Structure formats: structure tokens, C-alpha cells
């Protein structure tokens, strides 16, 4: 099943032309997405085995009787996570872009449509919670084991985003050392020897962008301004995008740092759910920071989300140009940070109360 979904998102329509010598083009987006998922699941299984390791002496040898069982349960949970993640990520993308799908609702089920990480995270979390309840697992303990691997999977997944030219950054000043240009179809086709003929998503978007930009500073205007050129005209002439911030790489590096940090933090957790709470807060900060450099308006804003949900009056209170009209991901990050802080405070307070109720230990008496 995983391989099938990976192929659907990595291969373009007509990927099997049947002509001799053409081969099968495998796009790096789907490949890295699948690689990230498989790597995350594999590491999660190993962490689960270590977490629930229970040694018993059998036939003169110490045998782990519980760890391998929990590892197998993680493997079983993979299907739940996959379905919940894909369903949730697709659902949130449709909600954010509901006006586009309202004209043709059948496109909701298109396998070539977009995905949103936060939607996948929510969907996968619900699936994991249901699985844990069905199998008598402590959800908070399970979350502490699995959540670091989410960052590991995202580290690889964002490399796929960079390869596809999606989730790109805002226009950077011409002198910015980190600026990157995403190619159009002609450039990609020449480099790959005719294997692919698909433009990067960033290029396709800027090719239709009617706003104006001052190339030297990266400043964008919604109307003509001195020294500014129309973005679509510039891109059509050059054959590649304006220099943009590589936000995919920013997040990929941040996720790798977060993964390593969480593995280290697991040694010092004070209660089940401690690592999860830390991740919720840390990733919310990371994602909100990266969002400041994002340039793909398709990801939606709070104003657009409220409109999509039919809350017109609330949307009117959040004007498009208002500073508090944050992106959809920034809004979810704020909610996620709050939940992580509440979880940390509540479970930490409960642990202290339980410790006080037990009284002093014999060694301290």
C-alpha cells in the first residue's frame, strides 16, 4: 500500500508510455516522502522495543519478552498512521482551498492534489490514539516513543518538497546568499535528458503571479511601482523563478536538530507525555519561524480558513492585510504550542502531587 501511494505521488500521468528505452521516471518528492515514512516507522519500532524491554531468565539466558511485541504493534499501527495521515493532510488542504474545490468537488479525491503536514499530523494522531485504546497501550507513553521520529520523517520529507519546488519561500533580495531559483519545465527536461517535462510548483505559481517586485530588495507590491516588474513577466522571460528563500531546507535542518534533541531529552523525562509536550512547543516555534519566510500563498491564511468554514463574520474581523491574519499553519502552531504548554504544566503538577502524597522515601526519612 505504501509503495502504491508513493508511486501515485512520484509518477506523473502517463508514466508508463510503453516505448522501448524510455524507462520509468521516479520523482524525488514521492520517493523521499516514502523514504521518510519508512525510516520513521523503522526507528519508532526500535525505540518501542527499547522502551518496553522486559528481561526474563529462560533456559539460563536473559530474554526480552515484551520489547519485540511492542515493536510488532508499532508495525501494525503503521497502516493506521498512513491512512489517518493521508486523510488528514488531504482534508486540511481541501478546507484551506475550499473555494477551488467547490466548483468541482470530484477533485477532492484526486491523487494528484496537495497535502498539508499539519492535517496529516492531526489525522495520524487520532489514528494512533484509537489504536492505543484498542490495544491497551498508554497513549502518552506511546507518543513519547514515536514523536521524535515524526521530525526524522519530516527532515527527509522536506527534502522532497525542495526537489519538487513546493512549499517555497518568499522572494529574497538579489544579494541574499541563501536565495535559490526553481526551474521551469524546459530547464528540468534538459538536465534530466528528457525524462521529465514538469515545471516546479514554485515556477508555475510565479508564472501566474500578477504582483510586482523590486528584484534588488525582494519587496512585493500589489500594484505597479517605480523600479518594480511584474513577477509573471520576469519569470516567463528568464525561464526560472525569482530568488526565493529555501524554506524547505530551513525546516529540514530544524527537524533534524529537533530529532536529535528529543532523543537526548527522552533520558530526562519526568512523566509520560513529557517528550510530546516538548515537541509540540518546539515544533510550533520552528514552524512559525519558517512561515515568516514562506512565499506560497496557496497554503492559506486565517482569513481564508474562516471563509472556507462559512464563518464570514469572523473572517471580516481578520482583514487580509492585518498583521494578525497569520497563515493557517501559524494559527495551528499557536494552538499546538498552547496545548503543549498546558500538557506540560498539568502532567508536571500531577506528578509533583503524586510524589508529595507518597511522602518521604526511607532514605530521606
pLDDT digits (tens, 9 = 90+) for 35-67: 999 999 999 999 999 999 988 888 778 888 788
Question: Model's pTM, two decimal places?
Answer: 0.82
Instruction: Please tell me the predicted confidence (pLDDT) of residue 364.
Output: 41
Instruction: Please tell me the predicted confidence (pLDDT) of residue 18.
Output: 46
Pairing of strands 61-64, 212-214: unpaired
Domain boundaries, the chain: 2-169+246-355, 185-238
Name the band, by pLDDT with cuts 50, 70 and 90, for residue 115. Answer: confident
Instruction: Please tell me the predicted confidence (pLDDT) of residue 191.
Output: 45
* Sequence-separated (6 or more) residues with CB below 8 Å from residue 63: 55, 56, 57
Residue 339 has pLDDT above 90, yes or no: yes
What number is the average pLDDT over the span 21-25?
55
Selected residue with higher pLDDT from 10 and 354: 354
* Helix intervals (H) in the chain: 2-10, 28-51, 67-96, 98-102, 117-134, 139-164, 185-191, 201-206, 231-238, 247-265, 274-291, 302-308, 312-316, 328-358
Q: Is 220 exposed, middle or buried (0-12, 13-18, 19+ CB in 10 A)?
A: middle
Confirm whether residue 158 is marked as ligand binding.
Answer: yes
Highest mean pLDDT among 158-167, 187-196, 305-314: 158-167
Q: Give SS3 for 301.
A: strand
User: Which tens digit of pLDDT belongs to each residue from 204-252?
Assistant: 889 999 999 999 998 988 889 899 999 999 999 998 999 999 999 999 9
Please state, for a pLDDT cut of 90, what percent of the chain lies above it. Answer: 46
Q: Is 44 exposed, middle or buried (0-12, 13-18, 19+ CB in 10 A)?
A: buried
Amino acid at each position: 500500500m505504501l509503495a502504491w501511494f508513493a508511486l501515485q505521488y512520484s509518477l506523473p500521468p502517463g508514466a508508463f508510455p510503453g516505448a522501448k528505452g524510455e524507462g520509468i521516471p521516479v520523482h524525488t518528492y514521492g520517493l523521499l516522502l516514502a523514504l521518510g515514512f519508512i525510516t520513521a516507522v523503522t526507528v519508532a519500532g526500535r525505540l518501542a522495543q527499547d522502551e518496553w524491554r522486559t528481561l526474563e531468565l529462560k533456559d539460563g539466558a536473559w530474554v526480552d519478552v515484551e520489547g519485540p511485541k511492542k515493536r510488532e504493534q508499532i508495525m501494525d499501527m503503521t497502516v493506521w498512521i498512513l491512512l489517518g495521515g493521508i486523510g488528514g493532510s488531504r482534508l486540511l488542504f481541501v478546507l484551506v482551498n475550499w473555494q477551488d474545490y467547490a466548483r468541482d468537488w470530484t477533485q477532492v479525491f484526486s491523487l494528484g492534489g496537495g497535502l498539508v503536514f499539519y492535517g496529516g499530523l492531526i489525522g495520524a494522531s487520532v489514528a494512533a490514539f484509537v489504536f492505543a485504546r484498542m490495544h491497551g497501550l498508554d497513549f502518552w507513553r506511546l507518543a513519547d516513543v514515536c514523536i521524535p521520529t515524526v521530525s526524522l520523517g519530516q527532515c527527509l520529507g522536506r527534502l522532497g518538497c525542495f526537489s519538487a519546488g513546493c512549499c517555497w519561500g518568499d522572494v529574497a533580495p538579489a544579494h541574499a546568499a541563501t536565495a535559490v531559483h526553481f526551474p521551469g519545465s524546459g530547464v528540468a527536461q534538459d538536465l534530466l535528458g528528457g525524462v521529465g517535462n514538469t515545471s516546479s510548483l514554485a515556477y508555475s505559481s510565479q508564472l501566474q503571479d500578477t504582483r510586482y517586485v523590486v528584484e534588488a530588495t525582494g519587496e512585493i507590491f500589489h500594484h505597479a511601482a517605480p523600479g518594480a516588474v511584474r513577477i509573471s513577466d520576469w519569470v516567463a522571460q528568464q525561464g526560472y523563478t525569482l530568488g526565493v528563500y529555501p524554506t524547505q531546507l530551513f525546516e529540514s535542518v530544524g527537524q533534524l536538530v529537533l530529532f536529535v534533541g528529543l532523543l537526548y531529552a527522552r533520558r530526562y523525562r519526568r512523566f509520560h507525555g513529557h517528550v510530546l509536550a516538548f515537541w509540540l512547543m518546539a515544533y510550533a516555534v520552528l514552524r512559525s519561524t519558517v512561515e515568516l519566510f514562506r512565499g506560497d500563498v496557496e497554503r492559506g491564511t486565517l482569513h481564508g480558513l474562516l471563509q472556507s468554514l462559512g464563518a464570514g463574520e469572523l473572517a471580516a474581523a481578520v482583514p487580509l492585510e492585518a498583521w494578525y491574519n497569520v497563515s493557517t499553519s501559524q494559527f495551528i502552531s499557536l494552538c499546538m504550542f498552547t496545548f503543549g504548554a498546558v500538557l506540560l504544566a498539568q502532567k508536571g503538577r500531577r506528578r509533583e502531587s503524586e510524589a508529595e502524597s507518597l511522602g518521604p522515601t526511607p532514605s530521606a526519612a
